[in-house]
């Protein structure tokens, strides 16, 4: 079981949180201009990163705030958590 540090509430058990997927995905400015393939790519295509990865989590049984978790998908180690900003921070991923 993971212990996740909510930026507002502190360390809590993972059962209090909901996973929100890959962080940093921006909605297209003009979705009406996208063709079907571009729209499907936006909706469904995600990285399947092995190693450091930025994720969105929601403290659904606590403060209900969304935040960013930097997590190693191999070891499940949580490196850092942070409040959502306008832009997701860059992380270095070893190939």
Among left, alpha and beta (phi > 0; psi -120 to 50; other), residue 2 is beta
Output the pTM of the full model: 0.79
| Residue 93 is assigned to a structural domain of this protein | no
Query: Domain for residue 52, yes or no?
Result: yes
User: Residue 95 falls within a domain, yes or no?
Assistant: no
54 occurs within a structural domain: yes
Structure tokens at 33: 């201009």
Structural domain span for residue 19? 3-83
| CA-only gyration radius of the chain, Å | 15
Residue 77 lies in a domain: yes
Q: Which of 47, 48, 52, 46 is nearest to 75 (CA)?
A: 52
Q: What is the pLDDT along the chain (95 residues), one digit of tens a residue?
A: 899 999 999 999 999 999 999 998 989 999 999 999 999 999 999 988 899 999 999 999 999 999 999 999 999 999 999 999 865 555 555 54
For the four alpha carbons of 4, 53, 51 and 70, in that order, the dihedral sign comes to negative
CATH number of the domain at 64, please. 3.30.2270.10
């Amino acid at each position: 079981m993971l212990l996740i540090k909510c930026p507002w509430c502190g360390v809590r058990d993972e059962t209090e949180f909901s996973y929100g997927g890959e962080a940093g995905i921006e909605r297209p400015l003009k979705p009406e201009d996208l063709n079907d393939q571009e729209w499907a790519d936006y909706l469904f295509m995600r990285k399947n990163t092995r190693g450091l990865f930025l994720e969105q989590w929601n403290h659904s049984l606590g403060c209900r705030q969304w935040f960013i978790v930097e997590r190693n998908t191999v070891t499940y180690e949580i490196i850092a958590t942070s409040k959502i900003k306008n832009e997701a921070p860059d992380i270095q991923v070893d190939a």
